Structure 1
Amino acid sequence: MTTVQTIEIHGLSKRFGAVAAVSDLSFTVEPGRVTGFLGPNGAGKTTTLRMLLGLVKPTSGTATFGGTSYRQLRAPLSTVGTALEAASFHPGRSAHNHLAVYAAAAGIGRARVDTVLGQVGLADYAGRRVGGYSLGMRQRLGLAFALLGDPGVLVLDEPINGLDPEGIRWIRTLLRELAAEGRTVLVSSHLLSEVQQTVDRLIIIAGGRLVYEGGLDELDHSTQVVVDSPNRPALAAALLAAGAEPRETDAGLAVVGIDAARVGAVALSAGVPLSLLMVQHGGLENSFLELVGEGGRP
């Protein structure tokens, strides 16, 4: 594995005419963990990744690997492994020949081709023409190409798309193993449910702008206490007096702003018996949709 680099995005913007695809975007991706890059379709994820990889010129700002742009890397294939499009293969070539061409151009030994094909589960299909591959197999071949130079950084666009349940479990395990080796791993997706069991940290954008950067635990902020009593009006009055704002639901009173212990103490102090007291989490997916609902473009 080559030297690991931190991905650094600073003030990155891209306009296509009157359309702002990415606006003043800044974040970092650290080694040793899997970072999810999320946003709805049209949020600016692919444009950001293309700027990072030197395929699109930014209107302003920088996107670098440890302070060096992709175009200035001395050995790009051995520094950054990329998989942006699962279908960008010559259909008449075998998987082995496809990788061998790139290995020869980068000065990488042919033995590495067999190694990465085995690593992604394609060893038995290495001689088959890529035109006959399923979408899931092309995803695996794309990952094999990303790993070809044994890079310290991996940038993967929608790598789970097209994989069956077994393939999804496999890639989750592989990505975590690669991060555990100290690599920098950035994985994009438009669905939180696809990556929430894989990633350690999230970067979420909507409408080309950063809307969240942090861990999974901090994202699930939609927590409330649900409480009820045979004397619901008295309970509601006690909670209001304590500064809470109870909202009546079918299950009881939904309370935000104070925790369950405080709710119980308020009821006890007011002499109100409780028939229900529980903490209810809104869920990561709801929090994600709240963040991107206003900023995403269809």
Structure 2
Amino acid sequence: MPTGTPITIDHLTKRYGAVAAVDDVSFTAHPGRVTGFLGPNGAGKTTTLRVLLGLARATSGTATFGGTAYAALDDPARRVGASLSSDVFHPGRSGRDHLRVLQLAAGLERDRIDAVLQRVGMTDAADRRVGGYSLGMRQRLGLAAALLGDPGTLVLDEPINGLDPAGITWIRVFLRELAAEGRTILLSSHVLSEVSQTVDDVVVIARGRIVMAGALAELSAGAVARVRVDAADRSALASAIAAAGGVVETPTAGPLVVTGLDADGVGRAALAAAIPLTLLTPLSDDLESVFLRLTSEHPDPDARPASSAEVAA
């Protein structure tokens, strides 16, 4: 069974002229776990992955697999598998032929082609031209290519992007299976909700800088408990909640939303004020809201935006 190696990004900086696409980034992705590298488009995710895979040169810092740069790995196809784009395939070539080219270039066993096609559920479509594939099929073909050498470590850029619900469910299960085999999996996404049921750890980047890194549970801890409540006399209800220490968010219309008290506390405040409730529903700030708050709270350190020639995803 393949054994993953830690992916270590250590004080990595990549500048394009005056703009730091990646600014002093550090984190580690561990074997047996799925690490989500999350941030909005343009945050620096793809630049980091390109440096990690030797496709771009760091301005400073390092990006390594078990302490070794990708370019220095022995037999890298058997150590690291990567999928950075779903549009790198020749449209006139079949899926099988695409994998055949990669297999020959890497000096891998030919029977790996059928093995990975079967594993990603592409056997029946293997001899069709890639130009006729759906986005989901191209994503699966990219995963098949990454798995050709049966590597212990996988680097995947936006592997869930654009998939339909069935495709998202499939890839979630698939990535969890790969991690359970002891592989190190680092995947990027700009939408937390797409990967929240897949990842163990999260690294959130905004404007080239890490704003949060840790277990998914730590991100969940940032969620704010809220309560939706209503009564015929909303004004009196709002006063009672405020007197009990709650904070009332008063919408333009509709029920009140309360923070600072749980549902039991809101109910007790209403009872003490003899206010009959028509609605009492506990809410929770979802992870996507926490993610958006994290990425919006950190101002751009550069005075001017990157040009199209300087920008890195």
Please tell me the TM-score bracket, short chain as reference. 0.7 to 0.9
Distance, in Å, in 2 between the alignment partners of 1:101 and 1:284 is 41
Measured against aligned partners, the alpha-carbon deviations of 1:8-30 in whole angstroms (never above 9, x if no partner) come to: 22221111001111112122222
Matched, 1:277 2:280: yes
CA contact (8 A) 1:77 1:151 kept: yes
Residue 7 of structure 1 is matched in structure 2 by 7
Deviation at 1:292, TM superposition (A): 2.5
Matched, 1:258 2:261: yes
Matched, 1:245 2:247: yes
Deviation at 1:50, TM superposition (A): 0.5
Matched, 1:215 2:210: no
Deviation at 1:205, TM superposition (A): 1.4
Q: Structure 1 residues 281-290 or 235-244, which shifts more? A: 235-244
Q: Structure 1 residues 158-167 or 17-26, which shifts more? A: 158-167
CA contact (8 A) 2:45 2:188 kept: yes
Instruction: Flag structure 2 segments of 5+ consecutive residues without an equivalent.
Output: 306-312
Deviation at 1:37, TM superposition (A): 1.8
Q: Counterpart amino acid of 2:204?
A: I
Distance, in Å, in 1 between the alignment partners of 2:40 and 2:121 is 30
Distance, in Å, in 1 between the alignment partners of 2:164 and 2:23 is 35
Residue 23 of structure 1 is matched in structure 2 by 23
Tell me the SS of whatever aligns to 2:247.
coil
Measured against aligned partners, the alpha-carbon deviations of 1:215-269 in whole angstroms (never above 9, x if no partner) come to: 1661661331233455555544444344333333444443222322333344455
Q: Per the alignment, do residues 236 and 125 of structure 1 end up closer, same or farther by CA in structure 2, a change over 3 Å counting?
A: closer
Tell me the SS of whatever aligns to 2:100.
helix
Distance, in Å, in 2 between the alignment partners of 1:283 and 1:82 is 31
Residue 148 of structure 1 is matched in structure 2 by 148
Q: Counterpart amino acid of 2:103?
A: A
Q: Counterpart amino acid of 1:67?
A: G
Distance, in Å, in 2 between the alignment partners of 1:233 and 1:132 is 60
CA contact (8 A) 2:225 2:262 kept: no
Residue 192 of structure 2 is matched in structure 1 by 192
- Aligned pairs (5 A) from 1:93-108: 93-108=93-108
Residue 286 of structure 1 is matched in structure 2 by 289
Distance, in Å, in 2 between the alignment partners of 1:120 and 1:43 is 30
Q: Structure 1 residues 32-41 or 158-167, which shifts more? A: 158-167
CA contact (8 A) 2:39 2:189 kept: yes
How many residue pairs align between the two structures?
298
Q: Per the alignment, do residues 260 and 88 of structure 1 end up closer, same or farther by CA in structure 2, a change over 3 Å counting?
A: same
Distance, in Å, in 2 between the alignment partners of 1:195 and 1:122 is 23
Tell me the SS of whatever aligns to 1:123.
coil
CA contact (8 A) 2:2 2:182 kept: no
Matched, 1:201 2:208: no
Matched, 1:77 2:91: no
Tell me the SS of whatever aligns to 1:172.
helix
CA contact (8 A) 2:220 2:287 kept: no
Distance, in Å, in 2 between the alignment partners of 1:146 and 1:80 is 8
Distance, in Å, in 2 between the alignment partners of 1:236 and 1:166 is 44
Measured against aligned partners, the alpha-carbon deviations of 1:127-186 in whole angstroms (never above 9, x if no partner) come to: 344444443332222111100111111111122235444333322221121112121112
CA contact (8 A) 2:83 2:143 kept: yes
Q: Counterpart amino acid of 1:244?
A: G
Measured against aligned partners, the alpha-carbon deviations of 1:95-136 in whole angstroms (never above 9, x if no partner) come to: 333323332343321111110111122223333444444433
Distance, in Å, in 2 between the alignment partners of 1:233 and 1:91 is 64
Q: Structure 1 residues 219-228 or 278-287, which shifts more? A: 219-228
Residue 226 of structure 1 is matched in structure 2 by 228
Calculate the aligned-residue CA RMSD, in Å: 2.8
- Aligned pairs (5 A) from 1:99-178: 99-178=99-178
Q: Per the alignment, do residues 261 and 140 of structure 1 end up closer, same or farther by CA in structure 2, a change over 3 Å counting?
A: same
Q: Structure 1 residues 229-238 or 1-10, which shifts more? A: 229-238
Deviation at 1:270, TM superposition (A): 5.4
